Amino acid sequence: MQPASYHLENTWSPDGGPNGRLTFTLVNLSDAPLTDFRLVYTSLTRVIDPKACDNAVFLRRNANFHEFTPPAGLSLVSGESWTFSVSGLNRTAKHCTDGAKSAYLTLSDGSHVSVSVSDLLLEGRVSAPPPVLLPEGKLDLPFAIQPWPATIDAWPGEGFPVVLYPVKGTDGSSLKAVATAQALFHRLFPANHAPFSLIAAPQGRRLRFVERPALAREAYELTFSADEIALAYSADAGRLYGLTTLAQLLDGTRREPGKFRFPVAGTISDQPRYGWRGCHLDVSRQFHPKENVKRLIDILAWLKLNIFHWHLTDDEAWRLEIKAYPQLTSTGVLRGPDEPLLPQLGNGAEPVDGFYSHADVREIVAHALALGVEVVPEIDIPGHSTAALVALPDLADGQEAPESYHSVQGYPNNALNPAVEPTYEFLGKVFDEMVELFPSDYIHIGGDEVANGSWLASPQARKLMEREGISGTFALQSYFLKRVKTMLTARGRKLAGWNEVAHGGGVSTEGTLLMAWEKPEVGIELAREGYDVVMTPGQAYYLDMVQAEAWQEPGASWAGTVPPAHTYAYEAEGEFPEELKDRMKGVQACIWQENFLSRDYFNRLVFPRLPAIAEAAWTPKAGKDWERFAAIVRLSPAL
Ligand code: ACM
């Protein structure tokens, strides 16, 4: 990459304000003088007191977009720099990713020029380097299986077969399953030797498929001998998991023969601990092309996860094509200096966009289905709706004062208004298209982080509250979500949402599944109220959280520090009273992408914590072993 003509350095000091002070230095690396310009940067550490600003004039902020201008008459010749500081911050910085993520200049002719930025440096304290988070690990049994199976009683052999091949007379459906497992392996590890062959190979080992209806749908049993392996299963899911285990065993042995071996005798009898083994991906903050989404689904299948929760909309973009409202994926995805949606979260002078067409969605859903992964789509309503409201401004109450409330992320007036009747017509059409695209039992409707105070300055909302005899933001939210639930029920779907769906009266618990994210105790409370629950607490399962306290460790930290060892050891079921345990349907990783500016960041934060959650979702508590996990997880594929 060529260096930009302008560069921004930033430092944070704990002194200089209640949440410390950010100091920025813009360096002119171009050959020409720089005059008469404005500077924009995006930063999750936000300026909330525009007056607490030294040697610059604060012009405006929208969420994490910040715009400043230098003191009048400032001119920087080549090599010169301008330094300014801001101290009215919304929170303290804790890590190197808490500063400017991107920047650009707007020149006097209105053009925009890229500015490169560096990691946030720490002033006044030691900037600790990131620690090693994954030990070498230790194996009691030399088998490379992820997640670790429920029961294993197998003996390692000397050497290993060149391939595994179905016995003569294997039915077409099992042959197709082998081809599916083989194709998955090839996509994940294109340079590694194939684990299967559809024809007999002299140095290979026979694979016999045995239908055993008594096994659960996702269960399988492998019986090893020197010349044959039997794979017992009752349904497609268990058969594919058995094949995946075989591919992992063989691949591990091939890659690290001193460490891993292939079984020559004994059995593996396996089934998952939980029915809901999910991974969520936020594609609103940062877009992923459909190839990345499919690869992530491949990784989920490899780790025997079975739910892909696709967070398709948020304040920053609405990524799902809705043919009835093309504006959602034109205006509603385009972030740029001169667009209604401003640059955020690492965007610079160049506009960015990206959405999934109906054809893309169908391809992704079919890809997942073939691997036993269900795609649960989310549109995040009523909060987190800036992109939808910018695309469809008629959905706002025109009489509501601007900036009458702000979301926790700093977006003004960002919630669909329960009193604006066309909102329901809009959602009806969106749901009509979603149920055509997604065969999942559940549609996830978000329901999180509606700011307390939302809609209270809306005359239409006030009238509705009077008519319905309700008061307050969350009673209105409950009114809205009950109508949404009715709309989903009419379309044959169940409602999934974040834990705040229960606020203000909530919705009927019948067929409603909520995700406990704010803290673990919330999950128990929801179960007590009668909701089905999936545990996704930020303190253990949010993969955007930092993995160590060191300043140089990247990531968010509002839910604390989440080392891989903690994610692995965390027992979501831990505090659930016995009588509520059957309401706890499973666990889920969440990949929020505010901080994920590159594939490298993605991989650094997602691994090994995603495989750790996969093991927590699958392996019985008594079978969890961090040292063993650490020894095997290095073989995991990355995005
Ligand atoms: C959430 O993290 N707002 C669900």
CATH code of residue 96: 2.60.40.290
448 C-alpha to ligand 1 centroid (Å): 6
Residue 224 lies in a domain: yes
Classified as helix, coil or strand, 172 is helix
Q: Please choose, from the candidates 397, 393, 59, 58, the residue with its C-alpha nearest in 3D space to the C-alpha of residue 405.
A: 397
Out of 450, 498, 500, give the residue to mutate to test ligand 1, the one with the largest number of ligand atoms within 8 Å of its CB: 498
pLDDT bucket at 50, cuts 50 / 70 / 90:
confident
Q: Indicate which residue's Cα is closest to atom 2 of ligand 1.
A: 517
Same domain, 117 and 234: no
- Whole-number Cα distances in Å, 242 to 86, 246, 467: 57, 6, 58
How buried is residue 17: exposed, middle or buried, by Cβ count under 10 Å (0-12/13-18/19+)?
Answer: middle
Q: Which residues are catalytically annotated?
A: 449
Residue 244 and residue 304 share a domain: no
Of residues 128 and 177, more confidently modeled = 177
Structural domains in the chain (count): 3
Are residues 582 and 529 located together in one domain of the fold? yes
The verdict on residue 57 lying in a domain is yes
pLDDT tens, residue by residue, 16-42: 999 999 999 999 999 999 999 999 999
pLDDT for 3 beyond 90: no
In a domain, 139, yes or no: no
SS3 31: coil
DSSP H/E element including 211: strand 205-211
Cα dihedral 615/619/624/628 (nearest 10):
-60
State the distance from the centre of ligand 1 to the C-alpha of 203, rounded, in angstroms: 52
Q: Give the pTM.
A: 0.98
Band (2; pLDDT cuts 50, 70, 90): confident
Q: Are residues 449 and 319 in the same domain?
A: yes
Query: Closest residue (by CA) to atom 3 of ligand 1?
Result: 448
Do 338 and 233 lie in one domain? The reply is no
User: How far does the centroid of ligand 1 lie from the alpha carbon of residue 587, in Å?
Assistant: 15
Residue 111 domain-assigned (yes or no): yes
CB 480 within 8 Å of CB 497? no
Residue 133 inside a domain? The answer is no
Residues 350 and 464 in one domain: yes
Ligand 1, residue 590: give the atom nearest the CA.
Answer: 2
- Which of helix, strand or coil describes residue 504? helix
Q: Which residues pair with 166 in a beta bridge?
A: 207
Rounded to 10°, the helix 358-370/290-302 angle is 10
Range of the domain at 69: 6-122
Q: At what angle do helices 172-188 and 236-255 cross, to 10 degrees?
A: 40
Task: Please report the atom of ligand 1 found closest to the CA of residue 498.
Answer: 4
Residues with Cβ within 8 Å of residue 542, at least 6 apart in sequence: 517, 536, 556, 559, 562, 590, 592
- Do 581 and 443 fall into the same domain? yes
136 is a domain residue: no
How many A from CA of 145 to the centre of ligand 1? 32
Res 366: pLDDT: 98
> What's the mean pLDDT in 421-433?
98
Residues 488 and 525 in one domain: yes
Contact 95, 545 (CB under 8 A): no
Average pLDDT taken over every residue of the chain: 97
Q: Where residue 393 falls among pLDDT bands split at 50, 70, 90?
A: very high
Q: Among residues 122, 143, 167, which one ends one of the domains?
A: 122
Render pLDDT for 134-145 as a digit per residue (tens, 0 to 9): 999 999 999 999
Q: How far apart are alpha carbons 164 and 243 in whole angstroms?
A: 10
Contacts of 589 (CB under 8 A, 6+ apart): 278, 279, 280, 536, 541, 543, 606, 609, 610, 613, 614
> Could you tell me if residue 264 is inside a domain?
yes
Mean pLDDT of 477-501: 98
Residue 229 belongs to domain with CATH number: 3.30.379.10
Question: With contact defined as beta carbons under 8 Å apart, do 497 and 471 qualify?
Answer: no
Tell whether 17 and 58 lie within a shared domain: yes
pLDDT digits (tens, 9 = 90+) for 318-359: 999 999 999 999 999 999 999 999 999 999 999 999 999 999
The verdict on 346 and 242 lying in the same domain is no
Instruction: Show the ligand 1 pocket: residues with CB < 6 angstroms.
Output: 448-449, 498, 517
Specify whether 381 is located in the same domain as 422: yes
The pLDDT of residue 1 is 67
Q: What is the mean pLDDT of residues 249-263?
A: 97
Is the confidence at residue 542, as pLDDT, over 80?
yes
How far is Cα 386 from Cα 383, in angstroms, rounded to an integer? 8
160 close to 261: Cβ distance less than 8 angstroms: yes
Of the residues 105, 122, 139, the one at which a domain ends: 122
Whether 135 maps to a domain, the answer reads: no
Structural domain ending residue among the three candidates 222, 238, 270: 270
- Show Cβ contacts of residue 603 under 8 Å, excluding neighbours closer than 6 positions: 638, 639
